[in-house]
């Protein structure tokens, strides 16, 4: 499974990338707005910091403007994946961009039928929002299972399942068990994946025992 970090904070992205935890980045207008910086400056910094795909979202909702915005975003860096909403105009934009060789992330997916349409439109990634489904009483992971089953039925579907709206480490575990291709994870959740109280307790005991020996590994 690949991990994308869901952030526009360049310091966070660089830190996680240095640890080998980042295969790509997803952004959205809300995340970029939090930085207080210019949109294209933020994207340029992120694209330079990671080798993998960087999802950059269009702001328009009509086909003509979405297409123009998508082309400008794609021209910024080779690893840009243009993010478009799962609407009819968004799917049309996806198809046009994909046919020209641009990777497209179709976002705000909440049903298996929507995921089928995105795959047929040539999306590189489909982003089902599992946390938001959980919020309204639906089972977000059931959607991931449905999409995985459907995509596996058709060799012509090459779209990767990019699980989005992840709220906690258990979401990551469940997505991996189902066989999702990517999880896009907020920095705090990504760091929590490494934590376990028994690891901390065990390390504390090892260090205490080592200290009693009075030895050192360095400068022996």
Please state, as a whole number, how many other Cβ atoms lie within 10 Å of the Cβ of residue 200.
10
- What is the chain's percent helix, strand, coil content, to nearest 5? 50, 15, 30
The residues, ordered by sequence, that sit 6+ positions from 22 with a Cβ below 8 Å of its Cβ are 3, 4, 5, 13, 16, 50, 52
By the 8 A CB rule, do 97 and 74 touch? yes
Task: Please tell me which residue in 2, 34, 78, 83 is annotated as part of the active site.
Answer: 83
By the 8 A CB rule, do 54 and 79 touch? yes
Count of residues making up the chain: 220
CA distances for 36 relative to 33, 72, 139, angstroms: 6, 21, 35
Query: Is 192 among the catalytic positions?
Result: no
Q: Which residues are catalytic?
A: 83
């Amino acid at each position: 499974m690949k991990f994308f970090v869901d952030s526009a904070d360049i310091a966070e992205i660089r830190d996680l990338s240095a640890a080998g935890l980042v295969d790509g980045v997803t952004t959205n207008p809300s995340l970029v707005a939090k930085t207080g910086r210019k949109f294209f400056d933020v994207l340029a910094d992120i694209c330079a910091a990671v080798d993998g795909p960087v999802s950059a979202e269009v702001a328009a909702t009509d086909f003509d403007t979405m297409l123009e915005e998508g082309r400008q975003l794609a021209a910024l860096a080779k690893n840009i994946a243009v993010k478009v909403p799962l609407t009819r105009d968004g799917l049309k934009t996806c198809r046009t961009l994909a046919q020209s060789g641009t990777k497209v992330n179709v976002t705000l997916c909440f049903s298996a039928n929507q995921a089928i349409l995105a795959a047929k439109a040539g999306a590189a990634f489909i982003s089902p929002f599992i946390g938001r489904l959980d919020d309204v009483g639906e089972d977000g992971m059931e959607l991931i299972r449905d999409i995985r089953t459907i995509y596996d039925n058709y060799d012509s579907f090459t779209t990767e399942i990019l699980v989005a709206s992840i709220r906690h480490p258990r979401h990551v575990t469940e997505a991996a068990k189902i066989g999702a291709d990517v999880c896009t994870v907020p920095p705090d959740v990504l760091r929590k994946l490494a934590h376990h109280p028994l690891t901390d307790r065990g390390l504390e005991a090892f260090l205490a025992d080592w200290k009693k020996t009075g030895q050192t590994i360095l400068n022996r």
